[in-house]
Amino acid sequence: MKLFFLLLSFSFFLPVQVTAGEIPDQATIRLRSVQADFLQEKHLKILARPIISTGTFTFQSPQSLRWEYRKPIPSILLMHAGKVKKFVERDGQLAEDTRMQLDSMQVVLSEISNWVDGRFTDNKMFKVSFPKKQTVLLTPKEQGLAALISSIELKLANQNGLLDEVTIFEGPDSFTRLTFTNRVLNREIPAALFTER
Amino acid sequence: MKALFLSILLLSLTACATERQRHLPELTAIGDARRATACESIFPRGHWQFAHAIDFSMQDGSGGTVIGVTSLSEDEIACALMTIEGLTLFEAVSKKGEGLEVRRAVAPFNKPAFAEGLMADVRAIFLPPAAINIRHGWLDNNVPVCRYTGIDGRTTDILPATDDCWQIKTYTSELVMDRSIVGYSCQKKENSLIPEHLELKGFTNSGYTLKMTLIHAENLTRKTLP
């Protein structure tokens, strides 16, 4: 389940500040906050059609997050001041889900700051390469992680180092693609958004 | 002391009643072939794909919410579990004449007993039971029932007309209920009765409850996919 949180973290980095020299011609921006809508497609060999999920994403530096799915299962993951909470719709009501292990999220948080600062090469878990101009490819270094994820592909937008797409490949026929739209950068976000459902 | 005694008595009576409810109930048999049709119509026919939100709770208090996908065709049944965020936790396929192929299983879903148990649950929900004997009749409370007895001595009761949907109960060869499936808010979809909600309770040693809410049900029998 630790991986589940790790995967979440990869989509935190909608605005990617790439270190100079790694991807040429990418203008960088100083990130304070970002909000975006996302569309998630889950592809699997047995699926005749992908499972589509939609929601919104809000991140504020240094470590506040609201990751909200609207469909098909309403759920909210909140992180703020080192505390993590998850709410999931059960019997028609959003209720806090205390049944799942959330401690590992604390570990992942330290990784997030690296990514937001554009320190791809410093990542302990992934080998980083740049197969195309606008693409960052992450390959797991650890065998345990490699058994679950074969690679992660980040597609950058044309400007400001923003991320267009994150694709997490589990195997040849199984991947999850997140596409981000309606991004708003550096807007003031009230703290309550990261603490209240 | 009197209150304590009454509490113990009440608990004992409740336990006895629960135990009795879990034994295979008496059936008053009738020879009505229409009943068989009603019972089998609860199962989808052809090539279908279902996606459910599944809230699972284990007896020890653990649990969570996942997305479950089930794909049915004439010679294959496949299922997968994934997190809301898209991580595949479990994927398995069972083909006619071949064994169960587990393609992916992430802890804590990687125990062999889990794969077997999950596929047994999926079969119980979506496939008519394999039987050497089928009886039709009524239960004590005038509920119509079809009773399927398998070659292994297991029994499956299908109650095709319970409230607005159907129910399925499975019993061990010792005639003790080991699974109860209750459908709610059934909708007729291409000759099949598809529940909007399902609740499955497993009464094995590691008791569990699955509350399933339909995300989508699609008949793929004659469709050409893009």
- Chain B residue closest to A43 (CA)? B86
pLDDT score at A15: 44
Residues composing chain B: 226
Over residues B180-200, mean pLDDT: 91
Q: In the predicted model, what is the mean pLDDT of chain B?
A: 86
Q: Is A137 on the interface with B (CB under 8 A)?
A: no
- Which domains are present in chain A? 2-194 (2.50.20.10)
Q: Look up residue A64 and give its amino acid.
A: S
Q: How many CA atoms lie within 13 A of B102 on its CB side?
A: 17
Q: How confident is the model at residue B17 (pLDDT cuts 50, 70, 90)?
A: low
Which pLDDT band, with edges at 50, 70 and 90, does A63 fall under?
A: confident
Does the beta-carbon distance from B84 to A47 stay under 8 Å? Answer: no
* Helices of type H across B48-200: 112-126
Give the residue from B52, B57, B84 with the most A CB atoms within 10 Å of its CB, the best one to mutate. Answer: B84
pLDDT, tens digit, for every residue of B68-118?
999 999 889 999 999 888 889 999 999 988 889 999 998 888 888 899 999
3-state secondary structure chain A: CHHHHHHHHHCCCCECCCCCCCCCCCCCCCCCEEEEEEEEEEECCCCCCCEEEEEEEEEECCCEEEEEEEECCCEEEEEECCEEEEEEEECCEEEECCCCCCCHHHHHHHHHHHHHCCCHHHCCCEEEEEEECCEEEEEECCHHHHCCCCEEEEEECCCCCEEEEEEEEEECCEEEEEEEEEEEECCCCCHHHHCCC
Distance from CA of B26 to the nearest CA of A (A): 34
Q: Cα(B45)–Cα(B188) distance, rounded to whole angstroms?
A: 13
Q: Is the pTM of this model over 0.90?
A: no
Domains of chain B: 23-219 (2.50.20)
Whether the predicted pLDDT of B226 surpasses 90: no
Q: Which are the contacts of A47, defined by CB distance < 8 A and separation ≥ 6? A: B49, B69, B71, B80
- Segment A89-93 mean pLDDT: 86
What is the Cα–Cα distance from A167 to B37, expressed in whole angstroms?
Answer: 47
Cβ-Cβ contacts under 8 Å between A and B: the total is 91
Q: What percent of chain B has pLDDT over 70?
A: 86
For residue B200 the two structure tokens come to: 């499955």
Q: How far is A25 from chain B (nearest CA, A)?
A: 32
A106/A192 Cα distance (integer angstroms): 20
Q: How does residue A90 score in pLDDT terms, banded at 50, 70 and 90?
A: confident
Rounded CA-CA distance A11/A38 in Å is 10
Flag whether residue A124 sits within 8 Å of chain B, measured between CB atoms.
no
- Cα B41 to chain centroid distance, Å, stands at 15
pLDDT for residue A105:
47
Q: Among B10-24, B27-41, B113-127, which is the least confidently predicted range? A: B10-24
| pLDDT(A24) > 60 | no
**Which residue among A73, A100, A168 sits closest to B67, beta carbon to beta carbon?**
A73
- The per-residue pLDDT for A138 is 86
> What pLDDT score does B224 carry?
53
Residue A29: per-residue pLDDT: 61
CB contact under 8 A, A99 and B64: yes
Residue range B201-208: average pLDDT? 87
DSSP B144-186: EEEEEE-TTS-EEEEEEEETTEEEEEEE-TTSBEEEEEEEEEE
Per-residue pLDDT band at A57 (split at 50, 70, 90): confident
Q: Tell me which of B117 and A15 has the higher pLDDT.
A: B117
The alpha carbon of residue B204 is apart from the nearest alpha carbon of chain A, in Å, by 21
- Nearest-Cα distance to chain A for B49, in Å, is 8
Q: Do A53 and B65 touch (CB under 8 A)?
A: no
Work out the average pLDDT over A53-68: 88
Q: What value does the mean pLDDT take over residues B198-225?
A: 87
